[in-house]
């Protein structure tokens, strides 16, 4: 045995004492166990072991130290980990301590886990030590740590198809991109094992394939004769390569070729004007190829956008249309057809392709100024602005339709209607007032119609402070109203413009834009030019348009119509759009549906419709039971050909040449220009000549069959008649064209006059126009220098679409050489005189005073003087004798509406006409002349003047025509300025 030294022994004793002290000190449980704050674990379903990260280890500072294996130390419970506690409801896990001294533990599943029920679990865990003393009292717990455990899936389920059987029907001879789709699902919880990765057709040698999404299509065109039905077995695989538990059966039926479509449909349908409604589909029926149909819906659309302003409407002036629709007063047309009295639209480009629809084009460089006095709108009263507009697309600049602005200096806009960014904006600045308060000044409407390049009808009713807008008969309220102060009081006149806004280039107004460089004179002061088409711009003062008038103005004269048969009226539903250009038909029974379609008709109520094509389209949707659309019916397309209407020929006829005394021109009544005017309208049509009944069947093959042209008189309206002066304009100081305004008012007509003539406007019958034209009188109270006046009359229908002939009237003035109170000395002449021209006489024009004197034989001067004196005495006696009878006949003729007349040609005569004798008086006068001539010898007859010789020849030539004109009153007067005394 080996003994230690003293020093070594002392060291060993000290060490043992130290260890004993340490063990004694460890008996006190001062510290809590410690664990991580968060743990993440993974467990596979059907397994109980959880893999944690980090591992589950609890530490306690009360644990003793271990220095070497050579010392045996008895440890106490204070430093050991006795267990773990899990907190939470129904947690399917438990924690177990593997080593108390090291604090190592594990988490295990209590029961079998199911990922399909719950994929993740979250709970808290807490460690506790063994405490102190033999019974483990005063144990300490650690903090609570969170544990997240994810349950991993295993591929325990197989795919299952949603349907037990799939069915489809295909037409023979067609390859489909997809016939039908099969679909399977998998109950596994993970993405990998729940997804279907592949489908497979198990049945071999079939002309079908299936893709990974389950869509089946045929690989070749199928034949009904080869196979009526194919039966396929299809299976599915998930992404874990599990096959479907049960395969599914797919049945694909092959249907023989049948094309669902409308049968018995004619693509070209001719419409003859004036025939009323025309059935469009009289023999039409729907072929559905024996499909069990549950419902049918068809939409019939008649395309009329290319006709006029969106469809066929009457092309009367907008003012006339307003009157026809019930707006009888206060209407001012700002874009009238150019005429002598309304010439401010002359030069503005028009669209002449729509049978005289007055459409004006504005290309961004042109605008017009409305003359002063045309519009006298008091903005304090209610008023209406209506216009047809086609515009688009929208622009960032303002585009003015109508603008009333200062003519000079200020550039203030008093009111305007303009387009800006597909918005229709109406500006209305109040007049100066004492109260300087904000009032509504701008009304904004944001409308798709403003920029869709289609025709729309806009009616703006303004009753300050409100403004309402109607677009195609539908009301729109402004989405924005801004306010402003009233205008300041000034004496500046305003300028009303269309297509732009008038402005001075002084730069005082921020509202206006810089005017572009003018392309022509007159545009230097214009800004905010409009780009588009305008028509029918109207301002109506003092009254608002009601809905009835607005609908009348917008309604088309053509459209679709249908008369439902009584037996199907309850089973089929028909709906029209507002202008009847399209309709929809819905029903369930095919037979009833076909009957309704066969009763759809086209109707054009215009007497003279616009000829041309109206495209027609029928779109159909067919639904079957339990399916949205089982039958695809192609659209049926065709067109209605509106044939050229038989154009009327408007003929004006009557007395075109007559003479009246100067006294009648200067009288209060004046001279009636058209006393016997007649207005007749005829159409010419071709009819086949009558043939024998036996030969009727072969008439088409017989080239000798002729067509006969027949002229037929028809009645229709006129809307315009203009009387214009030929030659120099009227001098208002001493001549005028007049008529009684009350007669116009009774017939709802209007008249405007100028120094060029007068114009009568308004839609009315030809008979009423004829009566009014009879009342037009020409007056001249300074006839000394007047010898003739020429006038021209023209009438039209449908705003110039059909124009009459130019009816010209020439009126001669009879100047009295020797005045005897109210009558001139006269001698009788025949009613109609055929002049004989002599080379020795040169008479030009109708200036009777300046006619050349006839040559006289010098040797017979004395005889001529005697003859002339005899004629003068005779005329004086005859004039005094018949003066009273002539006046009585003149008054009677005026009451009967027929004026004295004669056809006159003074190219070789030196006589003037005096309408004072009837035809019977002329014959009695002729007998007196014959007696006078028989009393003279032949030598005296040879010595008369050439003028007298002309007259006697004219008398002989005019006798046959006297018989034809026996009802006309004639009287001739000698102009003795040509006689030699």
Say how far apart CA 841 and CA 852 lie, in whole Å.
Answer: 7
Indicate the SS3 state at residue 124.
strand
Query: Can you read off the two tokens belonging to residue 488?
Result: 């300041």
Per-residue model confidence (pLDDT) at position 265? 87
Say how far apart CA 827 and CA 936 lie, in whole Å.
Answer: 18
Strand partners, 924: none
pTM score: 0.57
Q: Measure Cα distances from 61 to 19, 102, 466 in Å.
A: 17, 11, 89
**Residue holding tokens 């003035």?**
813
The strand pair at 248-255 and 165-171 is best described as parallel
Per-residue model confidence (pLDDT) at position 53? 82
Report how far Cα 44 is from the mean position of its chain's Cα atoms: 72
Query: Which candidate, 493, 557, 526, 541, places its Cα nearest to that of 309?
Result: 557
676 in Cβ contact with 896 (< 8 Å): no
Task: Give every strand in the sheet of 636-642, ordered side by side.
Answer: 268-271, 636-642, 612-624, 293-302, 582-587, 572-576
936 in Cβ contact with 797 (< 8 Å): no
Indicate the SS3 state at residue 881.
helix
Query: Per-block average pLDDT, block size 10, for the chain (981 residues)?
Result: 46 49 52 83 78 81 49 51 82 82 82 76 84 64 84 80 92 89 87 84 92 92 89 91 90 85 92 93 89 89 88 86 84 84 84 68 90 75 91 85 86 89 90 74 92 92 90 91 79 88 58 37 72 92 88 90 86 88 92 92 92 94 78 92 92 94 91 94 76 47 59 90 93 90 90 90 93 94 89 91 94 74 39 35 35 38 64 71 54 45 40 42 43 43 38 39 39 41 40
Q: Which residues contact 25 (CB under 8 A, 6 or more apart)?
A: none
Indicate the SS3 state at residue 12.
helix
Per-residue model confidence (pLDDT) at position 356? 56
* 538 φψ region: left (φ > 0), alpha (ψ -120 to 50), beta (else): beta
Q: Measure Cα distances from 276 to 305, 311, 562, 716 in Å.
A: 22, 17, 13, 17
Count the residues in the chain.
981
Per-residue model confidence (pLDDT) at position 509? 39
61 in Cβ contact with 78 (< 8 Å): no
Query: Can you read off the two tokens belonging to residue 952?
Result: 């006697």
413 in Cβ contact with 429 (< 8 Å): yes
Q: Measure Cα distances from 653 to 680, 721, 726, 757 in Å.
A: 8, 14, 18, 19
Say how far apart CA 194 and CA 152 lie, in whole Å.
Answer: 13
User: 919-934 and 861-895 helices cross at what angle (nearest 10)?
Assistant: 170
First-to-last C-alpha distance (Å) of the chain: 206
Q: Which residues contact 369 (CB under 8 A, 6 or more apart)?
A: 344, 495, 496, 497, 502
* 867 φψ region: left (φ > 0), alpha (ψ -120 to 50), beta (else): alpha
Tens digit of each residue's pLDDT (9 = 90 or more) over 524-543: 578 899 999 999 999 988 88
**Residue holding tokens 């005094």?**
880
How is residue 239 annotated by DSSP? T
């Amino acid at each position: 045995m080996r003994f230690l030294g003293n020093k070594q022994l002392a060291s060993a004793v000290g060490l043992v004492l130290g260890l004993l002290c340490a063990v004694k000190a460890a008996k006190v449980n001062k510290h809590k166990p410690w664990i991580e704050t968060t743990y993440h674990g993974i467990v596979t379903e059907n397994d109980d072991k959880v893999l944690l990260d980090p591992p589950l280890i609890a530490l306690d500072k009360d644990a003793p130290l271990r220095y070497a294996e050579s010392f045996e130390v008895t440890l106490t419970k204070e430093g050991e980990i006795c267990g773990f506690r899990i907190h939470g409801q129904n947690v399917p896990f438990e924690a177990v301590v593997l080593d108390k001294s090291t604090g190592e533990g594990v988490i295990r599943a209590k029961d079998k886990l199911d990922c399909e029920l719950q994929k993740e679990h979250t709970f808290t865990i807490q460690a506790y030590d063994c405490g102190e003393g033999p019974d483990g009292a005063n144990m300490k717990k650690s903090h609570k740590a969170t544990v997240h455990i994810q349950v991993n899936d295993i591929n325990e389920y197989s795919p299952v198809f949603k349907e037990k059987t799939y069915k489809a029907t295909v037409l023979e001879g067609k390859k489909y991109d997809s016939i039908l789709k099969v679909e399977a699902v998998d109950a596994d919880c993970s993405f990998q094992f729940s997804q279907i990765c592949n489908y497979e057709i198990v049945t071999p040698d079939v002309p079908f394939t299936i893709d990974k999404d389950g869509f089946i299509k045929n690989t070749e065109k199928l034949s009904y004769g080869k196979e009526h039905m194919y039966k396929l077995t299809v299976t599915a695989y998930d992404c874990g390569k599990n096959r479907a538990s049960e395969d599914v059966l797919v049945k694909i039926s092959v249907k023989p070729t049948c094309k669902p479509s409308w049968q018995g449909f004619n693509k070209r349908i001719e419409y003859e004007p004036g025939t009323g409604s025309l059935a469009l589909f009289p023999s039409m029926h729907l072929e559905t190829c024996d499909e069990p149909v549950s419902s049918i819906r068809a939409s019939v659309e008649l395309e009329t956008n290319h006709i006029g302003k969106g469809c066929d409407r009457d092309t009367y002036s907008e003012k006339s249309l307003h009157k026809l629709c019930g707006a009888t007063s206060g209407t001012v047309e700002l874009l009238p057809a150019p005429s002598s009295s309304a010439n401010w639209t002359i030069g503005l480009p028009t669209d002449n392709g729509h049978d005289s629809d007055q459409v004006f084009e504005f290309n961004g460089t042109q605008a017009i100024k409305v003359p002063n006095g045309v519009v006298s709108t008091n903005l304090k009263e209610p008023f209406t602005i209506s216009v047809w507009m086609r515009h688009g697309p929208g622009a960032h600049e303002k585009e003015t339709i109508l603008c009333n602005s200062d003519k000079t200096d200020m550039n203030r806009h008093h009111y305007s209607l303009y387009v800006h960014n597909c918005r229709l904006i109406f500006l209305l600045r109040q007049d100066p007032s004492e109260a300087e308060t904000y009032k509504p000044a701008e009304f904004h409407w944001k409308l798709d119609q403003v920029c869709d390049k289609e025709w729309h009808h806009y009616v703006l009713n303004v009753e300050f402070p409100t403004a309402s807008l109607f677009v195609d008969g539908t009301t729109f309220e402004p989405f924005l109203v801004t306010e402003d102060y009233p205008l300041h009081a000034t004496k500046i006149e305003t300028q009303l413009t269309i297509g732009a806004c008038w402005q001075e280039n002084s730069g005082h107004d921020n509202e206006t834009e810089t005017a572009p460089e003018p392309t022509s004179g007159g545009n230097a002061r214009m800004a905010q030019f409009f780009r588009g088409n305008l028509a029918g711009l109207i301002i109506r003062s003092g009254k608002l348009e009601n809905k009835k008038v607005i609908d009348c103005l917008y309604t088309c004269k053509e459209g679709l119509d249908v008369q439902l048969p009584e037996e199907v009226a309850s089973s089929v539903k028909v709906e029209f759009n507002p202008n009847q250009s399209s309709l929809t038909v819905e029903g369930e029974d095919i037979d009833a549906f076909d009957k309704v379609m066969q009763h759809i008709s086209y109707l054009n109520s215009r007497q003279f419709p616009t000829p041309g094509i109206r495209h027609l389209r029928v779109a159909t949707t067919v639904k079957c039971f339990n399916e949205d659309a089982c039958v695809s019916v192609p659209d049926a397309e065709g067109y209605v050909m509106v044939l050229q209407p038989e154009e009327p020929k408007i003929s004006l006829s009557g007395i075109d040449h007559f003479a009246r005394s100067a006294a009648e021109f200067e009288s209060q009544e004046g001279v009636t220009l058209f006393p016997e005017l007649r207005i007749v309208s005829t159409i010419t049509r071709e009819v086949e000549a009558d043939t024998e009944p036996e030969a009727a069947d072969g008439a088409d093959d017989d080239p000798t069959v002729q067509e006969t042209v027949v002229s037929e008189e028809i009645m229709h309206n006129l809307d315009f008649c203009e009387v214009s002066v030929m030659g120099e304009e009227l001098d208002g100081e001493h001549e005028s064209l007049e008529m009684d305004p009350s007669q116009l008012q009774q017939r709802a007509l209007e008249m405007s006059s100028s120094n060029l003539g007068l114009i009568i406007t308004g839609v009315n019958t030809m008979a009423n126009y004829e009566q009014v034209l009879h009342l037009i009188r020409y007056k001249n109270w300074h006839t000394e220098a007047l010898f003739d006046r020429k006038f021209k009359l023209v009438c039209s229908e449908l705003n110039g679409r059909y124009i009459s002939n130019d009816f010209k009237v020439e009126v001669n003035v009879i100047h009295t050489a020797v005045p005897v109170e109210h009558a001139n000395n006269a001698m009788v002449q025949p009613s109609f005189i055929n002049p004989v021209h002599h080379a020795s006489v040169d008479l030009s024009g109708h200036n009777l005073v300046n006619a050349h004197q006839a040559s006289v034989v010098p040797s017979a001067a004395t005889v001529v003087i005697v003859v002339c004196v005899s004629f003068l005495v005779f005329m004086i006696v005859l004039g005094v004798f018949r003066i009273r009878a002539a006046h009585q006949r003149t008054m009677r003729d005026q009451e009967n509406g027929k004026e004295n007349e004669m056809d006159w040609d003074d190219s070789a005569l030196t006589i003037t006409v005096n309408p004072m004798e009837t035809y019977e008086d002329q014959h009695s006068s002729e007998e007196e002349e014959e007696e006078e001539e028989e009393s003279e010898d032949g030598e005296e007859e040879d010595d008369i003047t050439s003028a007298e010789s002309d007259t006697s020849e004219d008398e002989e030539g005019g006798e046959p025509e006297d018989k034809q004109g026996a009802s006309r009153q004639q009287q001739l007067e000698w102009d003795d300025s040509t006689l030699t005394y």
